Amino acid sequence: MAGSVSIRVQAGGQDVGSVPEGTTVTITARCAWEFQDHPRRLIIDYTEPNGTKHMGAWIKELYDTGGGWNEDNPAGSDTLTGQMSLSYIGPYVFESRFQYYADGDRVNLIQFGPAAWALDVYAVPAYDLHISASGHGTTDPPPGYYSYNDGTTVNVRAIPESGGAYVFQYWDLDGVSYTVNPIPVLIDRKRELTAYFTGSVVGEWNVQGYVSNVDGGDVPSTTRVRASPGGATAAPDYMGFWQMTLNPGVYDFTCTEPGYVTQRRQFNIYPDTLNLVNFDMYRPDYSWPFGQIAGYVKTQDGHAISGATVSIPGYGELTDYMGWFGSSLVKVPVGTYALQASHPNFEPASISVTVTSGYITKVNVVLGPKALKYTLTIATSTYGSTDPVAGSYQYPKGTAVSVKATPYVGYMFDHWLLDGTSYAINPLPVTMNEDLILSPFFVPEEVITTGSASGYVKTPDGAPLAGATVKTNGASITTDGSGYYSVILEAGTYTLTASMSGYGKDPSLPNSASVTVIAGSRVDVADLFLKLVGVTPPPKKKLGLMAFLLFMASVIGVTGYGATRKESK
Q: How many CB atoms lie within 10 A of CB 438?
A: 20
Confidence of residue 550 (pLDDT cuts 50, 70, 90): low
Based on the fold, state whether residues 416 and 341 are members of the same structural domain. no
pLDDT tens figures, 413-432: 989 999 888 888 889 989 89
Highest-scoring range by mean pLDDT, 64-78, 498-512, 522-536: 498-512
Domain boundary pick from 156, 176, 199: 199
Residue 35's pLDDT is 65
Neighbouring residues of 537: CB distance < 8 A, sequence distance ≥ 6: none
Q: Which amino acid is at 536?
A: T
Q: Are 469 and 499 in contact (CB under 8 A)?
A: yes
Say yes or no: 473 and 511 in one domain.
yes
Q: How confident is the model over 130-160, as pLDDT tens digits?
A: 999 988 899 999 999 999 998 899 999 999 9
Indicate if the alpha-carbon torsion angle 319, 323, 324, 326 is positive or negative.
Answer: positive
Residue at 228 is within a domain: yes
Helices (H) and strands (E) in the chain — how many of each? Answer: 2, 51
- Is the pTM here over 0.75, yes or no? no
Nearest to 509 by CA among 495, 498, 518: 498
Tell me which of 367, 388, 406 is where a domain ends: 367
Same domain, 428 and 521: no
Residue 513 sits in the same domain as residue 553: no
Average pLDDT of the chain, as a whole number: 87
Q: Which residues contact 33 (CB under 8 A, 6 or more apart)?
A: 2, 3, 39, 73, 75, 76, 77, 98, 100
Residue 538 lies in a domain: no
The H or E element spanning position 566 is helix 562-568
- Do 252 and 354 belong to one domain? yes
349, pLDDT greater than 60: yes
**Distance (Å, whole) CA 429 – CA 120:** 6
CATH number of the domain where residue 465 is located: 2.60.40.1120
**Same domain (yes/no): 431, 297:** no
> Domain count of the chain?
6
* Other beta carbons within 10 Å of 551: 11
Answer whether residue 254 shows pLDDT above 50.
yes
Q: Are residues 343 and 469 in the same domain?
A: no
- Domain boundary, last residue among 396, 417, 444: 444
Give the residue with greater pLDDT, 235 vs 535: 235
Same structural domain, 157 and 113: no
Lowest-pLDDT range, 97-106, 323-332, 500-509?
97-106
Q: What is the pLDDT of residue 67?
A: 39
The reply to whether 528 and 552 lie within a common domain is no
562 pLDDT exceeds 70?
A: no
Tens of pLDDT, residues 299-344? 999 999 999 999 999 999 999 988 999 999 999 999 999 999 999 8
Long-range contacts of 173-176 (CB under 8 A, 24+ apart): 174/345, 175/305, 175/306, 175/307, 175/308, 175/343, 175/344, 175/345, 175/346, 176/299, 176/303, 176/304, 176/305, 176/306, 176/345
| Distance separating alpha carbons of residues 169 and 505, to the nearest angstrom | 108
Please tell me whether residue 469 adopts helix, strand or coil conformation.
strand
pLDDT score recorded for residue 362: 94
Cα–Cα distance between 52 and 417 in angstroms, integer? Answer: 19
What is the tens place of the pLDDT at every residue in 161-219? 988 888 898 999 998 989 889 999 999 889 999 999 988 777 778 899 999 998 888 99
Q: Which range marks the domain in which residue 550 is found? A: 543-569
Residue 477 lies in a domain: yes
Per-residue model confidence as pLDDT tens digits over 261-273: 999 999 999 877 7
What letter represents residue 556's amino acid? I
pLDDT computed for residue 65 by the predictor: 42
Across 86-223, the runs of DSSP E, i.e. the strands, are 90-102, 110-122, 126-133, 137-140, 144-149, 152-160, 166-173, 176-178, 183-187, 191-199, 207-213
Q: Is 558 helix (H, G, I), strand (E, B) or coil?
A: helix
Q: Residue 566: its pLDDT value, please?
A: 37
Based on the fold, state whether residues 86 and 117 are members of the same structural domain: yes
Give the model's pLDDT for residue 265. Answer: 94
Strand partners, 312: 315
- For 446-457, how does the pLDDT look when each residue is reduced to its tens digit (9 = 90+)? 777 888 889 999
